[in-house]
Amino acid sequence: MSMPRAARSRIPALLLLACAMPAAAAARADDPPAAPAAVTYLYRMLPGLTFHPASDGMEYATDSGTGCIHHTGGLEQRLVHSVELPAGVTIDFVRFFYFDTSPTGHMKGYYADYDAAGNQYEIASSASGAVSGYGSVLITVNRTIDHRSRPVELSATLTGTDDSVRFCGARIRYFADVIFTNGFD
């Protein structure tokens, strides 16, 4: 079945008109900026029991039923945990959970990364305060994960050698503003 002659004569004119018109999706210089896409926050919880001493010089004990860990002896006071998140996500904050009834001891949480030579750089930290009992401290980070050039580590130091200062874990809040195209690498 052939197309009517009148319709055939309009096709070249319509194509010419379509090519002359600017694309509707193209932004002009004086257009207002597009609204940001909604951000979905994700969380990764790291229980205190999954942290390990930074060296062999720390003695520690775990608290049954709480998931907390406390320092019992030795010169080392630091517990560490690597951060395993997809490359390209942004960590905006980390919350460290603790139990502290010590008048002199405290828990201090750290966010650090490393360069290619193995040098550690402390990005942010915060210590438990004067409030007795269970609590948390928040550190703002705003760092994008890049495992190849800046691997990330969380750590907590515990002063005192009894169960009056316990580290109970850390929660990482992060978001992805990229589309993962190569297996989250």
Looking at residue 70, its amino acid is H
Query: Is residue 14 domain-resident?
Result: no
User: Is 185 among the domain residues?
Assistant: no
Whether residue 12 lies inside any domain: the answer is no
| pLDDT, position 21 | 41
Bigger pLDDT: 184 vs 111:
111
Model pLDDT, residue 179 = 56
* 184 lies in some domain: no
How does pLDDT run across 6-29, given as a tens digit for each residue?
555 554 444 443 444 444 444 455
**Domain of 97: which CATH number?**
2.60.120.200
Q: What is the pLDDT of residues 122-181, one digit of tens each?
A: 899 898 876 789 999 999 999 998 888 888 899 999 987 788 999 999 999 999 875 554
Question: Does residue 148 fall inside a structural domain?
Answer: yes
Residue 183 lies in a domain: no
Give backbone dihedrals phi and psi of 12, rounded to 5 degrees, phi first: -60, -35
* Residue 151 pLDDT: 86
- 85 burial type by CB count under 10 A (0-12 exposed, 13-18 middle, 19+ buried): middle
Integer Cα distance of 45 and 95 in angstroms:
9
pLDDT at 63: 85
Asked whether residue 27 is domain-assigned, the answer is no
Domain residues for the domain of 92 are: 42-176
- The confidence score (pLDDT) of residue 150 equals 85
What pLDDT is recorded for position 20? Answer: 44
Domain count, the chain: 1
Q: What is the 3-state secondary structure (H, E, C) of the chain?
A: CCCCHHHHHHHHHHHHHHHHCCCCCCCCCCCCCCCCCCCCCEEEEEEHHHCEECCCCCEEEECCCCCCEEEEECCCCEEEEECCCCCCEEEEEEEEEEEECCCCCCEEEEEEEECCCCCEEEEEEEECCCCCEEEEEEEEEEEECECCCECEEEEEEECCCCCCEEEEEEEEEEEECCCCCCCCC
- The answer to the question of residue 2 being in a domain is no
The model's pLDDT over 64-118, given as tens digits with 9 standing for 90+, comes to 788 899 999 988 899 999 999 998 899 999 999 999 998 888 899 999 988 878 8
pLDDT at 5: 56
- Number of Cβ within a 10 Å radius of residue 58: 18
